[in-house]
């Protein structure tokens, strides 16, 4: 099974292009779920939603849709994986109505999280519910240097069945900072090496494309064979497609799947394309 998505499900730029032209914000998740079967839920990184919001999300998607949500930055960044048990318990209780549709929980750690934090990472994994799938993203350079620190981190993940999140920002940094969106994305996204490894059953790729859709092909070409191999192994990859402003992120996802040569809902006509009178600007 291949899970595919974008880093958001709500975008005014997608109305009339991918969503129906009259799509209301409250209906965007439902229309998004007709195109993708997963989403990179970044909202939970910044703030906790209300319980009734979580119920609304659950009711808006089909049973085969899988959310991924990030652990709050208060736990990962502010508390630096220290004295976080109360906050984690509250978060898990809040999201428990979504557990049946929660494909993975994402722990994104800051660049300040060095190899000296490996004990804290191990403790977090130990405290995390075993019935939920966990993915961890690191940004400290030592975890990409193919030295002892990276080996110990990867071994920890493999031993505990935790997925290493891989971020490929090469396309983003291949283009000049010619627009405010590109400048902003290049300032916020990490420029880290792409060390490809599947430490558990559900490897995660966050692919940040460049503005020229065709130019992305050279960057993701090696990923095509790797994803095919993981699928043949029986793994369940998650791939999330970004662009600087995410304006064309769904088109990048569709282009990738076409080149991958597998069946996926993203290849079906977009909701907007099903409107016979709609003049599309794709």
Q: Are 132 and 106 in contact (CB under 8 A)?
A: no
For CA atoms 245, 8, 248, 259, give the dihedral sign.
positive
Helices marked H in the chain: 28-32, 43-46, 51-60, 73, 85-95, 118-127, 148-160, 170-174, 180-188, 216-233, 249-260
**Smallest Cα–Cα separation from 188: which of 207, 171, 169, 202?**
169
3-state helix, strand, coil in the chain (%, to 5): 45, 15, 40
How many Å apart are CA 244 and CA 179, to the nearest integer?
Answer: 9
Give the DSSP H/E element, type plus range, for residue 134.
strand 134-137
Q: Would the pLDDT of 275 be above 90? A: no
**Smallest Cα–Cα separation from 171: which of 206, 138, 128, 136?**
206
Q: Which residues contact 120 (CB under 8 A, 6 or more apart)?
A: 80, 81, 82
> pLDDT tens for residues 2-53?
999 999 999 989 999 999 999 999 999 999 999 999 999 989 999 999 999 9
pLDDT for 274 equals 84
pTM (2 decimals)? 0.94
Residue 115 in tokens: 């190899």
How many Å apart are CA 4 and CA 249, to the nearest integer?
Answer: 11
Residue 245 DSSP symbol: S
**Smallest Cα–Cα separation from 247: which of 151, 181, 203, 189?**
181
Residue 45 in tokens: 């990184």
The CATH number that domain 3-274 falls under is 3.20.20.410
How many Å apart are CA 211 and CA 13, to the nearest integer?
Answer: 15
Percent share of the chain, pLDDT over 90: 94
DSSP character string of 74-99 = IIIIISTTSS-HHHHHHHHHHHGGGG
Instruction: List the Cα angle 23/28/31 in 5-degree steps.
Output: 90
Q: What pLDDT band is residue 188 in, cutting at 50, 70 and 90?
A: very high
Q: What pLDDT band is residue 277 in, cutting at 50, 70 and 90?
A: low
Residue with tokens 């549709």: 101
> pLDDT tens for residues 158-185?
999 999 999 999 999 999 999 999 999 9
The two counts, helices (H) then strands (E), for the chain are 11, 8
Burial class (CB in 10 A: 0-12, 13-18, 19+), 47: exposed
Q: What pLDDT band is residue 280 in, cutting at 50, 70 and 90?
A: very low
């Amino acid at each position: 099974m291949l899970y595919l998505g974008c880093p958001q499900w709500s975008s005014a730029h997608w109305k009339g292009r991918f969503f129906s032209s009259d799509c209301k914000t409250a209906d965007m998740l439902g229309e998004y779920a007709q195109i993708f079967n997963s989403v990179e839920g970044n909202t939970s990184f910044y703030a906790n939603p209300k319980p009734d919001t979580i119920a609304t999300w659950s009711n808006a998607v089909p049973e085969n849709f899988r959310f991924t949500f990030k652990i709050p930055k208060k736990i990962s960044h502010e508390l630096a994986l220290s004295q976080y048990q109360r906050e984690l318990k509250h978060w898990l209780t809040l999201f428990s109505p979504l557990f049946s549709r929660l494909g993975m929980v994402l722990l994104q750690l800051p660049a300040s999280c060095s190899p000296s934090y490996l004990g804290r990472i191990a403790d977090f994994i130990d405290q995390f519910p075993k019935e939920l799938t966990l993915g961890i993203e690191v940004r400290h350079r030592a975890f990409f240097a193919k030295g002892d620190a990276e080996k110990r981190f990867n071994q920890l993940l493999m031993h505990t069945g935790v997925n290493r999140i891989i971020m490929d920002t090469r396309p983003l940094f291949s283009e000049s900072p010619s627009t405010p969106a590109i400048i902003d994305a290049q300032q916020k996204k990490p420029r880290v090496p792409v060390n490809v490894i599947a430490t558990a059953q559900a490897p995660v790729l966050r692919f940040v494309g460049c503005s020229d859709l065709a130019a992305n092909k050279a960057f993701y070409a090696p990923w095509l064979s790797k994803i095919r191999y993981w699928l043949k192994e029986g793994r369940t990859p998650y791939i999330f497609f970004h662009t600087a402003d995410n304006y064309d992120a769904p088109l990048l996802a569709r282009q990738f799947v076409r080149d991958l040569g597998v069946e996926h809902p993203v290849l079906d006509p977009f909701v907007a394309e099903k409107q016979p009178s709609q003049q599309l600007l794709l």
